[in-house]
A and B are shown apart, each in its own frame.
Chain A
Amino acid sequence: MTGQVESPLRRVVDGIDRAAGVIDRASRVAMGIALVGILSMLLLQVAVRYILPFPLPWVEELAVYLSGYIAMIGTSVCLRMGYHLQVDLLRDKLGPRAVLYHALIINLVVAGFGYFLLKYGIRFVELGAGQTSPSSYFPVALGRLSMPVGGGLLIIQALVLSLKAFDDLVNGPRDPYKIRS
């Protein structure tokens, strides 16, 4: 213990970050389950063609809907992990404080894209209300829901990363190796 009193802002930001971490872990588990779902559906499709005497039209639809959820939920997970493809040439040239400003701004830009996904994703879901997929087994809104869900999660994680960068600007960096844009 250093005896230093942690600033209220840092305590709040850390609390928010922990909550975002819980969301992140839940997102990962959901993605893993969706992957098992896709694998099961595809294997079932092969089995249906070669073993069962009748086709199952919903198998393919469920698999692609799950793929949508992996992609859209995973976008926020990848952001938090720093796993998205990006060019770091500028960031690598910046000083310690400039890196924080950079992280703050870049993540706000990403949150802006998340807002597009959320707002028009909701509209997209609303437009599909009452419709069923071509196989008539699923409401299309169920698949389309991945768009606003992904957008919402992306906004949360991007804003948390921005907030952490802001906190680091105000209170000094907590761990420079964990800061990324």
Chain B
Amino acid sequence: MAIIFILLLVLIGGILLGVPIFAAMGLSTLVHYLDTGRESTLLILNQRLFNGVTSFTFLAVPMFILAGEVMVRGKLIDRLLDVARAFVGHMRGGLAQVNILSSIFFAGISGSGQADIAAMGSTIVPAMVKDGYPRGYAAAITAQSATLSPTLPPSIVMVVYGAVFGVPIAALFAAGASVGLFMAIAYMILAYFMALKYELPLHPRATFRQTLNAVRAGLAPLGMPAIILIGIFGGIFTTVEAASVAVLYALIMTLIVYRTITLREIGPILISAAVTSAAVLIISGVGLTFSYIVAIQHIPQTILGALSTLSQSPFVIVSLIIVVLLIAGMFVGRTANILLFGPIIIPIFYELGYSPVHTALIIIIVLGVGHLTPPVGGALLTACLIGRCTLPDILKYMWPMIILEIALAVVIIFTPALSESLPAFFDLGGVSR
């Protein structure tokens, strides 16, 4: 018990003091040495970390990051906006709907929420402001729609989750696709009602020819998520292979077909993608080591035992965990939070009868709510920066979105079928309790 206390003290204390999370997690695992007293423990921890950073499944992380980087630098994402505009631009609050739909498309390329806000926000927020939308609203809906990225394939968060906690990544992608689309529809309904309330402009429907032209121009960027999804779900590629084929596709499109990237730019793109990948890989590798220590110290069982003294009700226990995740999500990104809390709370969810994919989706969605919540939600602050607005400006419009996010999280928690139907249909695993 004392070891668990010291471990959590080093971990939480280190993080709150500002030690980089990978180092705080890594140092907390060394506490296990105090328990065993054997130097070989430290050697084993080193080996565990090495096994983590050289995990084959993690290879999908640098590949998806590189594919997204090439597509974004190749400026092909503007075409996604045109496709979205052709399909939903005529609806009430058309550009808000375009913002949401284009985030779905962009998620299929980038898999990162922050990248979505930075890349799409810098294009669509000025367009929305020019069209008469309040700047705060434009930034708020950009932040909200970007939270779809970690839910939809090829989400980097899901790759890390699957690799660390042994859940089939294809099953997570399938579950994320159904939940993400469900959430996107809810966002669009809210956007419709907010457009009515704020009397946002209405535009004529795109003609058939305009739609056709937009779709034709958007085929290049839309081809990438298509390759990934068909490749994985069709059994043609593994997730890692699909990621590498996505990079090849992105390079062919940007270097050869559209020539929006020159060979000279490839070096900086590679380095940028490698640096981003390193930050994810090291924290994931340390996360695997941390999971190992958490398991052998029986920390989930200890915490579940402590929670059970408060209440025997699974509902109350899950609610307590959700509150912790909501708060944690305000301060730290999803990947870090998953690696920090996952080893402790995932076994508790399993103990309470939740399936692996349902557990994953609950954790990912709930952490996403924290991202939108003031005062330090990551998506919120990035949207403020990109949208060039103040926190009060964006918050004025953000509250209904945060309430919707919480409502959706509750629906996802109580409706396992939302997460489990697609993985079960494709027989991808991860649904058995």
Contacts and interface: CB of A to CB of B under 8 A. Distances in A.
Nearest to B55: A64
Residues of B in contact with A, size category? 35 or more
Interface in B176-206: none
A35 B70 CA distance: 13
Contacts of A127: 43
A28 B274 contact: yes
A79 B23 CA distance: 11
Main SS class of interface, A? helix
A32 B20 contact: no
B390 interface: no
Contact of B267 (A32, A38, A46, A110): A32
B277 A84 contact: no
B62 A67 contact: yes
B285 interface: yes
B46 A147 contact: yes
A67 B14 contact: no
B27 interface: yes
B410 interface: no
A164 interface: no
A86 B17 CA distance: 9
B56 A64 contact: yes
Contacts of B21: 84-87
A160 interface: no
Contact of A89 (B22, B240, B273, B331): B331
Contact of B271 (A31, A116, A123): A31
B107 interface: no
B119 interface: no
Contact of A90 (B18, B46, B247): B18
A68 interface: yes
B16 A35 contact: no
Given A39-B63, A42-B244, A70-B274, A84 B26 contact: no
Contacts of B46: 116-117, 120-121, 123-124, 147
A86 B376 CA distance: 13
A35 B46 CA distance: 23
A78 B248 contact: no
B277 A74 contact: yes
Given A46-B245, A74-B275, A35 B270 contact: yes
A106 interface: yes
Given A42-B241, A123-B46, A147-B50, A110 B19 contact: yes
Contact of A147 (B20, B49, B283): B49
A45 to B, nearest CB: 7
16 contacts: A32-B274, A35-B66, A46-B241, A63-B59, A64-B55, A71-B277, A78-B282, A84-B283, A85-B21, A85-B335, A85-B336, A86-B20, A87-B332, A113-B26, A116-B26, A120-B43
Interface of A: 28-29, 31-32, 34-36, 38-39, 42-43, 45-46, 60, 63-65, 67-68, 70-75, 77-79, 81, 83-91, 102, 106, 109-110, 112-113, 116-117, 120-121, 123-124, 127, 143-144, 146-147, 181
Given A74-B279, A146-B54, 9 more contacts: A70-B277, A71-B282, A74-B281, A84-B22, A106-B20, A113-B23, A116-B27, A120-B43, A147-B49
